[in-house]
């Protein structure tokens, strides 16, 4: 089976740094995705990790450790518009992703 765990909620202050963790236990692994979803809207793609290590894209970075079944999304210089749900998803079988329940991030002034 597939099991993906993320914290349900997090709160951070504008301008700060926040790290959202994701742990997974899946029957296969091709890669791990992070998506951002604003309330009532569709998810949008943020990052994709296949190999161990850190991938940086502007204010957002994503880290993967395959041996530990662990990933995190790092958001720097937080802005109010970063308030959203962040979904961790694992592609365990070719072309098919399993999603975690998401972490709702609230950014406060």
Residues in contact with other proteins by the rule CB under 8 A: 4, 8, 30-31, 33, 35, 41-45, 48, 87, 89, 91, 94-102
Q: Give the rounded distance of the alpha carbon of 31 from its chain centre.
A: 12
SS (H, E, C) 4-22: EECCCEEEEECCCCEEEEE
End-to-end Cα spacing for the chain: 41
In the complex, least distance from residue 8 CB atom to other proteins, rounded to whole angstroms: 8
Residue corresponding to tokens 């204010």: 59
In the complex, least distance from residue 90 CB atom to other proteins, rounded to whole angstroms: 11
In the complex, least distance from residue 101 CB atom to other proteins, rounded to whole angstroms: 4
Choice between 8 and 109, CB closer to other proteins: 8
């Amino acid at each position: 089976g597939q099991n993906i765990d993320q914290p349900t909620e997090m709160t951070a202050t504008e301008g700060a740094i926040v790290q959202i963790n994701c742990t997974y236990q899946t029957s296969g692994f091709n890669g791990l995705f992070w998506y951002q979803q604003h309330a009532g809207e569709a998810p949008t793609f943020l990052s994709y990790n296949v190999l161990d290590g850190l991938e940086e894209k502007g204010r957002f970075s994503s880290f993967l450790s395959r041996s530990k079944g662990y990933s995190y999304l790092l958001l720097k210089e937080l802005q109010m518009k970063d308030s959203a749900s962040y979904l961790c998803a694992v592609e365990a079988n070719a072309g098919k992703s399993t999603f975690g329940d998401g972490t709702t991030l609230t950014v406060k002034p």
